[in-house]
Structure 1
């Protein structure tokens, strides 16, 4: 029942996101196609590298903080959706878990990351280092923390695993992943704004570089 509800909610949110996106731009703009689907491929490859002892309690890097900074919130949601479809079709994720993985593993980290960017943009000085270290680096850390806590809570509340198993085999790995996750997102954004700033949808020279 919970799986079905999560799937319906996730697909409804994906449908709403698609309705609000300029899909004609995707068909007409090669740049948009390359960024959206190229990001999906990068996510798919990154998510292939995972480890875990118990089914479902797998850990891997997310890269879901840099994604909305590059693509914007709505395209990032669609890009992660495509990657999740690929992983599920490849048998790396259970089809029964598609809605849960979509909501807790993709949507929540992306929305949390974008909220951090939005709060930093409106509440903090608009400075290059704040963009990199708060929006990308810290955003990656917070997003991964949310994802692992929510997934751990789901497995416990659904009765699949005991809490001690979740802590000893899943949540205990969270501190080991936080800094590398932050570095992955921070370095991605740093390299892109140096060499390909036009690819970063949320980066504006007039806000972060001029008169700084």
Structure 2
């Protein structure tokens, strides 16, 4: 493996072999590319799909999650499901905001809440995923309104409320996957530490 790739995967996944870390990371990129291709929309530019940013962030760390989601968006864009000229904007809104909110939520929970297994699962996996999806929806609503694509009134009444429902779906899926990963493959989850969340409990 090239030195760059080795250093890239050693930083967040020091406990894993490089080949296993790369397989997990690439597998998540492929899986999310399929999930992002399954979307619904009400009007041009107003599409909805599951995000997966929280699972990616908790599993790989924020840096690899952002790079991975940008690759997911690149695959979706090359497949014709997203506008080529809007790639940078979509990457900032979907990958940047999604990963940023998920990681901020994780850091705040680690700092202010007790280090308990169920706190990690429910706060990071469920609540963090919901807030991440809703934050992406709010950021997209503000951007579309400021760009003049749609009016603020229309977006708030007919676009943003769907992200509240999407947040519930995102929370359920992300929480389930993080629970399975932590129980059966805890070494895949870079932000989970056995000594912190399980020792002396």
Q: Does 1:129 align with 2:114?
A: no
Question: 8 Å contact 2:9–2:21 — kept in the other structure?
Answer: no
Using the alignment, how far apart are the partners of 1:25 and 1:109 within structure 2? 23
Using the alignment, how far apart are the partners of 1:23 and 1:79 within structure 2? 12
Choose the corresponding residue for 1:77, options 39, 58, 66: 66
Deviates more, 1:173-182 or 1:91-100: 173-182
Q: Unpaired runs of 5+ in structure 1?
A: 1-18
1:13 equivalent in structure 2 = none
Q: Unpaired runs of 5+ in structure 2?
A: 12-16
Q: Does 1:194 align with 2:183?
A: yes
The Cα RMSD (Å) is: 1.9
Listed one character per residue, the Cα deviations across residues 162-186 of structure 1 (whole Å, up to 9, x for unaligned) are: 2233234311212222211111111
2:7 equivalent in structure 1 = 22
Question: 8 Å contact 2:133–2:170 — kept in the other structure?
Answer: yes
5 Å-filtered alignment, 1:54-73, equals 54-73=43-62
TM-score under structure 2 normalisation?
A: 0.90
TM-score under structure 1 normalisation?
A: 0.85
* Helix, strand or coil at the partner of 2:46: coil
Listed one character per residue, the Cα deviations across residues 47-82 of structure 1 (whole Å, up to 9, x for unaligned) are: 111111211100111111111110011111111111
1:42 equivalent in structure 2 = 31
Moved over 4 A (4+): none
